[in-house]
Structure 1
Amino acid sequence: MKRLKALKKLSFLFISLILTVSCSNDDDDAPEFIPETIVELAEATPSLSNLVAALKRANLVNTLNGTEEFTVFAPTNNAFTAFLTANNFASLEDVPVDLLTQVLLNHVIAGEFASTALATGYISTSATKAGTDLNLSMFVDTSSGVTLNGVSSVDTPNIDATNGIIHIVDAVIGLPNIVDHAVANPNLTSLVGALTTGGNTTFTDLLSIPGDYTVFAPINDAFTAFTNPNTNDLNDILSNHVVAGVTAVSSGLTNSYVKTAATFGATTNNLSLYINTDDGVTLNGVSSVAIPDIIASNGVIHAVDAVIDIPTVVTFATADPTFATLVSALTTLTPATDFVATLSTPNGTDPAPFTVFAPTNDAFSAITVPEESVLTQVLLHHVIGGMNVTSGDLNNPGDTPAPSLEGDNLTVTLPGTGNNIADLTDGSGVSDIGIVVVDVQAGNGVIHVINKVAIPNLTN
């Protein structure tokens, strides 16, 4: 490697000597100039003159002439010409400086990486998503040479500088949006195909516009394994992988519910997605994040190992450990009643949709769980059939009564007392049951979390 570096520097010395002799005329005593830094090497390479001009306009010369080591993917003059034409710029001077700066930084990687050190996968560039300190991701494909974000290939690798290394590339690497990243990664071809199936570009259009999106992107194997057992609409399924309005990186994820772009039936009620971070990141208990934090100009992608189907109320009950005792009550403790099958009934099929008041583990621990026949009636008392009652549907202020599947009414009162969002009165007349989480929206109903077990009138 040291011998290779020496030979490369001698070649630049030879070029410099020629330039010195041709320009000095009779001044044989002029000091020779040996290009060594990244910028000096670029200045000594005629095919990179546009890059040098761009670096000067973006005030990045000092950065790349310093002591910090960088890897620079250097577009040729022809690459810059093509970039300007494609983006309707007459010259470099027409490119806004802030945009030009980020585009250039998208070609700069912290640290020195020879071509042999690059592997297929994601690296972070020095460019950032607008308004954040999140560095944009770059997909490197080394299956045939070195290709960057699927749009630019390394023509001349490994030009060593004292403060890093240059790889000359044949195209300017634009700031990638979510769709660009999906298209560039061969492990996401099934997702891209699904996004555009039948000529449908709804999602590609949406995920190409500026904004903030978090996309949980199933890899090819996930699509291969997915059989769509409930024959849900593909567009709805894809929507259920998109969270609009936020760039949620993995370090900021917690055990919580978020809203996806999918909706309940023909309403504007967005479906919920349960995120669990107890062991990695899992989604609705069925899909795990395999590759986190692929940063795009308009959001972030997390590649996942399974397609996230439209959830039922059972999906959330089984995914959220807060409901572990409830799940046990619905299954192990009541074997004579198939609660799971009932609560998995598709929307629009009797008795769906459901409104479920789901007691937490702590709520169950505060009571003595009764024998099966009574427990069955207690569980039925937590479910309203044929209605998807969200918090926005309640009388506020006031009471909203509805009959449970057990037969007795449940009554929701707004506003709630203390820390309760709302209060719930059960069939036995207990009125201090607190609704502490509302509107966990599934595809066949909605869940509201309560802090006490509701008891029906067991004497009627």
Structure 2
Amino acid sequence: MKKLALIFLSFATILSCSNDDDNTTPELESLNIVESALITSDLSNLVAALQAADGDLVNVLSGSGPFTVLAPNNAAFTAFLSANNFASLADVPTDILKQILLNHVIYDATLMSTDLIAAGSGYASTEATGAGDNKMSIYFDTSSGVTFNGISNVDTPDIEAINGVIHIVDAVIGLPNIVDHAVANPNLTNLVSALTTDGNTTFTDLLSTPGDFTVFAPTNDGFTAFTNPAGNALNDILSNHVVTEVTATASGLANSYVKTAATFGATTNNLSLYINTDNGVTLNGISTVVIPDIIASNGVIHAVDAVIDIPTVVTFAVADPNFSTLATALTTLTPSTDFVATLSTANGTDPAPFTVFAPTNDAFAAITVPEESVLTQVLLHHVIGGMNVASGDLNNPGDTVAPSLEGDNLTITLPSTNTNIADLTDGSGVSDIGIVTVDVQAGNGVIHVIDKVAIPNLMN
């Protein structure tokens, strides 16, 4: 009854605007958005939906705003009900109906058609609640008329009200999932094509399900530039762009490693992805976020400018600024040895896979870096060849012993004697080297971060 009273009050407001002497009709610009909808015959289903939805949407849209409202016409609502097997608006769950209606409302902006056309295309945020309690994104494209999310076209633009503007559209705009957003944006057509190559439904099925996903979506230009130099499987490459079980918006990103849906070989060890936020957002040192925070119902898309190939252990050594001294040691300081080529060897090709113990910059700063021949042996002593020894593979409690490429053994001991994750004993007998980060998983091996440089027995 309260909602009906609000509607009748709105009608009364309209009628009170009439002048009995001259029988004039009130100008739309003197009405708010709800009042304008009430006197527009082709929006009667929208008015009924506002009444049916739980919550005070009528009051909200009667507020000061400003709002940009995409108002589905009556035919749009009829088609929506039919497509979803609803006999009437009463059959639509009120919580879903409320979110769908809110997905047609852009708050704190009066976006005229001229504003949209001037922008060309892009994203705005609606009042619907998307993944991670973020406001849902909506994509507009003006290359042919004005279209929203690739499905709803503006039929009647620029109905001005005192608290915003209404654009009448020809289709109800549902709550988009990640796949819907990818399909709607013409700059992601190469991604969509890759996801569905040869009828593949693995990714469209996964990314259409409820949940939380973070997807780094290469643009068309990114795909065009990618030559797949290592010949990696397309499904593996695409999986390496997906982070599951989290909606990570740009504001929550920091310099860190996350796990992607791609795995190492035939194992269940998920590959790592290095995120750097020192200057924008860069992934594995090769791909930069160009459009952040495209919010869907089941996660977030960040559009990126390059395809993120399957990383090698070298990829992380170069991408992570904590390894900048190590990267210099592997290249500039040891020109006679092609460490980059060796450590880029494909998984399953001798001497890959690798287990690499990577000293931080602080670890190198604590020693005097030796001349090239000795440094070469020191670097080789940080690598175990032919084995991908993840933390779950270690003896616990106990020692795990393996020979380094230099020849001397490395010994990992669990539990550690202090706050480190594990202790490492090098070939010279130093046993207090701390393993401080584990399982940075590449496609051809795994990296564990250590706080001291390991030294082999230089007397043998």
Q: Taking structure 1 as the reference length, what is the TM-score of the superposition?
A: 0.93
User: Which residue of the partner structure matches residue 122 of structure 2?
Assistant: 121
Amino acid at match of 2:445: G
What is the alpha-carbon distance in structure 2 between the residues aligned to residue 161 and residue 279 of structure 1?
42
Deviation at 1:418, TM superposition (A): 2.2
Amino acid at match of 2:110: E
1:268-309 alpha-carbon deviations (Å, 9 max, x no partner): 000000000000000000000011110010000000000000
1:48-70 alpha-carbon deviations (Å, 9 max, x no partner): 11100111122310001112210
1:406-432 alpha-carbon deviations (Å, 9 max, x no partner): 111101011123220000000111000
1:95-141 alpha-carbon deviations (Å, 9 max, x no partner): 111111110000001121111011211111111115x4311111100
User: Which residue of the partner structure matches residue 5 of structure 1?
Assistant: none
Q: Are residue 86 (structure 1) and residue 87 (structure 2) matched?
A: no
What is the alpha-carbon distance in structure 2 between the residues aligned to residue 155 and residue 415 of structure 1?
68
1:76-115 to structure 2, matched below 5 A, reads 76-110=73-107, 111-115=109-113
Amino acid at match of 1:53: A
What is the alpha-carbon distance in structure 2 between the residues aligned to residue 441 and residue 349 of structure 1?
17
User: Which residue of the partner structure matches residue 361 of structure 2?
Assistant: 361
What is the alpha-carbon distance in structure 1 between the residues aligned to residue 24 and residue 412 of structure 2?
86
Amino acid at match of 1:203: F
User: Which residue of the partner structure matches residue 405 of structure 1?
Assistant: 405
User: Which residue of the partner structure matches residue 270 of structure 2?
Assistant: 270
Helix, strand or coil at the partner of 1:358:
strand
Deviation at 1:86, TM superposition (A): 1.2
1:203-282 to structure 2, matched below 5 A, reads 203-282=203-282
Q: Are residue 284 (structure 1) and residue 284 (structure 2) matched?
A: yes
Deviation at 1:84, TM superposition (A): 1.1
Deviation at 1:31, TM superposition (A): 9.6
User: Which residue of the partner structure matches residue 447 of structure 1?
Assistant: 447
1:133-185 alpha-carbon deviations (Å, 9 max, x no partner): 31111110011110000000000000011111100000000001111111010
Q: Are residue 139 (structure 1) and residue 139 (structure 2) matched?
A: yes
User: Which residue of the partner structure matches residue 391 of structure 2?
Assistant: 391
1:159-198 to structure 2, matched below 5 A, reads 159-198=159-198
User: Which residue of the partner structure matches residue 10 of structure 1?
Assistant: none
Amino acid at match of 1:234: L
User: Which residue of the partner structure matches residue 336 of structure 1?
Assistant: 336
What is the alpha-carbon distance in structure 1 between the residues aligned to residue 299 and residue 161 of structure 2?
34
The 1:32/1:57 distance shift into structure 2, 3 A limit, reads farther
Helix, strand or coil at the partner of 1:453:
coil
What is the alpha-carbon distance in structure 2 between the residues aligned to residue 244 and residue 295 of structure 1?
15
What is the alpha-carbon distance in structure 1 between the residues aligned to residue 414 and residue 389 of structure 2?
14
1:203-238 alpha-carbon deviations (Å, 9 max, x no partner): 011111110000000000111100000000000000
Q: Taking structure 2 as the reference length, what is the TM-score of the superposition?
A: 0.93
Of 286-295 and 52-61, the range deviating more from structure 2? 52-61
User: Which residue of the partner structure matches residue 157 of structure 1?
Assistant: 157
Deviation at 1:87, TM superposition (A): 1.4
Of 52-61 and 241-250, the range deviating more from structure 2? 52-61
User: Which residue of the partner structure matches residue 70 of structure 2?
Assistant: 73
What is the alpha-carbon distance in structure 1 between the residues aligned to residue 161 and residue 51 of structure 2?
19
Helix, strand or coil at the partner of 2:133:
coil
- Aligned residue pairs: how many? 438
What is the alpha-carbon distance in structure 1 between the residues aligned to residue 23 and residue 40 of structure 2?
20
Of 275-284 and 40-49, the range deviating more from structure 2? 40-49
Helix, strand or coil at the partner of 2:246:
coil
What is the alpha-carbon distance in structure 2 between the residues aligned to residue 278 and residue 162 of structure 1?
44
Q: Are residue 46 (structure 1) and residue 15 (structure 2) matched?
A: no
What is the alpha-carbon distance in structure 1 between the residues aligned to residue 133 and residue 234 of structure 2?
34
Deviation at 1:33, TM superposition (A): 7.4
Amino acid at match of 1:126: E
User: Which residue of the partner structure matches residue 382 of structure 2?
Assistant: 382
Deviation at 1:454, TM superposition (A): 0.4
1:302-336 alpha-carbon deviations (Å, 9 max, x no partner): 00000000000000000001001101111111111
1:348-371 alpha-carbon deviations (Å, 9 max, x no partner): 000000000000000000001111
What is the alpha-carbon distance in structure 2 between the residues aligned to residue 243 and residue 416 of structure 1?
31
User: Which residue of the partner structure matches residue 346 of structure 1?
Assistant: 346
Amino acid at match of 1:52: V
User: Which residue of the partner structure matches residue 7 of structure 2?
Assistant: none
What is the alpha-carbon distance in structure 1 between the residues aligned to residue 427 and residue 338 of structure 2?
23
Deviation at 1:243, TM superposition (A): 0.4
Gaps of 5+ in 2: 1-10
What is the alpha-carbon distance in structure 1 between the residues aligned to residue 229 and residue 63 of structure 2?
58
User: Which residue of the partner structure matches residue 7 of structure 1?
Assistant: none
What is the alpha-carbon distance in structure 2 between the residues aligned to residue 219 and residue 419 of structure 1?
43
1:300-319 to structure 2, matched below 5 A, reads 300-319=300-319
Deviation at 1:81, TM superposition (A): 1.0
Deviation at 1:29, TM superposition (A): 8.5
What is the alpha-carbon distance in structure 1 between the residues aligned to residue 58 and residue 396 of structure 2?
62
Helix, strand or coil at the partner of 1:315:
helix
1:216-265 alpha-carbon deviations (Å, 9 max, x no partner): 00000111100000000000000000000100000000000000000000
What is the alpha-carbon distance in structure 2 between the residues aligned to residue 66 and residue 448 of structure 1?
57
Amino acid at match of 2:142: T
* Identity across the alignment (%): 78
What is the alpha-carbon distance in structure 2 between the residues aligned to residue 301 and residue 417 of structure 1?
43
What is the alpha-carbon distance in structure 2 between the residues aligned to residue 87 and residue 229 of structure 1?
45
What is the alpha-carbon distance in structure 1 between the residues aligned to residue 197 and residue 128 of structure 2?
32
The 1:133/1:31 distance shift into structure 2, 3 A limit, reads farther
Helix, strand or coil at the partner of 1:61:
helix
Stretches (4+) displaced over 3 A = 28-35
Amino acid at match of 2:122: G
Helix, strand or coil at the partner of 1:267:
coil
Deviation at 1:77, TM superposition (A): 1.0
